[in-house]
Each structure stands twice: as C-alpha cells, then as structure tokens.
C-alpha cells in the first residue's frame, strides 16, 4: 500500500512499513514503568509490515505479558509494540519513521499507563510533555 510510511531501526537491520491510524495526530508518551525508562514517542498504527530483519527482532513482555514490545537485537532500538488496550493495533516508535523526530512535537499527551484500565485504573491522560527548542 502506498499510504504506509517507511521505517527502520538505527542500524538498518530491521526495515518495516507502518500504516498510521491518524497520521502523527496520535503521537504520545506513556508514564508506565517500561515507557518511562524507554522514553519513546509513539503513534498508533493499524498495520506493520516487516520488509527486512524479522529474524533479528527480539520481543519483550512484562507485567501481564499479554503484548509484545519489539527491538532490533543488533542496535537495541525499540521499533514497535502491540497495543495493550487493543492487541489488534500497534504503536510505533516515531523516531523509526523516515523523516520524523520526537523533537518535531512541541507538546505531547502522556498516557496514564500507571493506571491502565486493564489493571483497574482510570487510564486517560496523565499530563502534557512539552519541548521548546532554544
């Protein structure tokens, strides 16, 4: 499909195409224990097509172990993960998308992953993260 955006890890061992649900309008951060440490900006994706490097992708599952987070085993870059709220959808690291930087966003919603609805919490938006270049 031509509406898929090209993406890759840092070293290029993993190359994929991503279909975003609403362009970069869904870009966000999350405050769960894993995302706090990972620090990536993600966008909601309906489709991930691995073009190259499926064999070097490694998977990490935590907490409920219900969804997979994928990393390049060569350079270590987080590429994408299944959505916990809807495992049929994905979230992609926007920094992997050609021509996109996490610093392209002046403000981002921060999802309240600490209080995820599947853990009995309210979820929603925990706050707003801002970036102001000098």
Q: What is the pLDDT of residues 4-28, one digit of tens each?
A: 999 999 999 999 999 999 999 999 9
pTM of the predicted protein model = 0.92
Phi, psi (5° rounding) for residue 117? Answer: -55, -30
Lowest mean pLDDT among 13-17, 49-53, 92-96, 109-113: 109-113
Question: Cβ atoms within 10 A of the Cβ of 62, count?
Answer: 11
Burial (CB count within 10 angstroms: exposed 0-12, middle 13-18, buried 19+), residue 90: buried
Q: What is the pLDDT of residues 23-82, one digit of tens each?
A: 999 999 999 889 899 999 999 999 999 999 999 999 999 888 888 999 999 999 999 999
The CATH number of the structural domain formed by 5-102 is 2.170.150.70
């Amino acid at each position: 499909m031509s509406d898929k955006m090209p993406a890759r890890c840092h070293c290029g061992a993993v190359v994929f195409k991503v279909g975003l649900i609403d362009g970069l309008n869904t870009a966000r951060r999350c405050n769960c224990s894993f995302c706090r440490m990972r620090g990536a900006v993600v966008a909601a994706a309906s489709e991930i097509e691995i073009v190259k490097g499926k064999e070097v992708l490694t998977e990490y599952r935590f907490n409920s172990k219900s969804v997979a987070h994928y990393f390049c085993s060569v350079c270590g870059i987080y590429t994408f993960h299944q959505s916990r709220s809807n495992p049929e959808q994905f979230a992609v690291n926007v920094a992997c998308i050609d021509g996109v930087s996490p610093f392209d966003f002046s403000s981002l919603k921060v999802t309240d992953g600490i209080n995820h609805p599947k853990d009995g919490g309210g979820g929603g938006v925990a706050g707003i993260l801002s970036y102001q270049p000098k």
